[in-house]
């Protein structure tokens, strides 16, 4: 597609349940990022994939968070045993390898009740 697509756009889950968030980057973009934005806050880096290199997981807040990127394209962010503090908008961005701006998706709004 023309842009970065994220699904679902909204997700409400019960505390303790697992959730999966999906990101479809722009075709051909080798770099993919996940960010989290809590209400009224700036963006918090979570994880970064670049081609076949090992991902940079330095921003993941706990071991309940994990992400994978299959075939260098689609990425899934998984949150296990969700907590209320996980409620936020989760944003995905992709970027061409060489240069240019990062294109963000519209995000998934996660609400843990």
List interacting residues with other proteins (CB under 8 A). Answer: 4, 31, 33, 35, 41-45, 48, 50, 53, 56, 59, 91, 93, 101-107
| Residues 6 or more apart in contact with residue 64 via CB below 8 angstroms | 79, 80, 81, 82, 83
Closest separation in Å from C-beta 45 to other proteins? 5
Rounded Cα–Cα distance for residues 22 and 70 (Å): 11
Looking at the Cβ atoms of 31 and 74, the one nearer to other proteins is 31
Looking at the Cβ atoms of 59 and 80, the one nearer to other proteins is 59
Rounded Cα–Cα distance for residues 28 and 21 (Å): 21
Q: Are 107 and 41 in contact (CB under 8 A)?
A: no
Closest separation in Å from C-beta 94 to other proteins? 12
Closest separation in Å from C-beta 103 to other proteins? 7
């Amino acid at each position: 597609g023309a842009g970065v697509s994220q699904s679902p756009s909204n997700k409400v889950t019960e505390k303790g349940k697992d959730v999966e968030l999906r990101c479809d980057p722009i075709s051909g973009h080798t770099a993919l990022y996940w960010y989290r934005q809590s209400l009224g806050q700036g963006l918090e880096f979570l994880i970064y994939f670049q081609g076949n290199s090992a991902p940079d997981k330095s921003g993941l807040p706990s071991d309940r968070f994990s992400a994978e990127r299959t075939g260098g394209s689609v990425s899934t962010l998984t949150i296990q045993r969700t907590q209320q503090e996980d409620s936020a908008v989760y944003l995905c961005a992709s970027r061409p390898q060489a240069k240019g701006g990062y294109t963000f998706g519209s995000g998934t709004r996660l609400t843990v009740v």
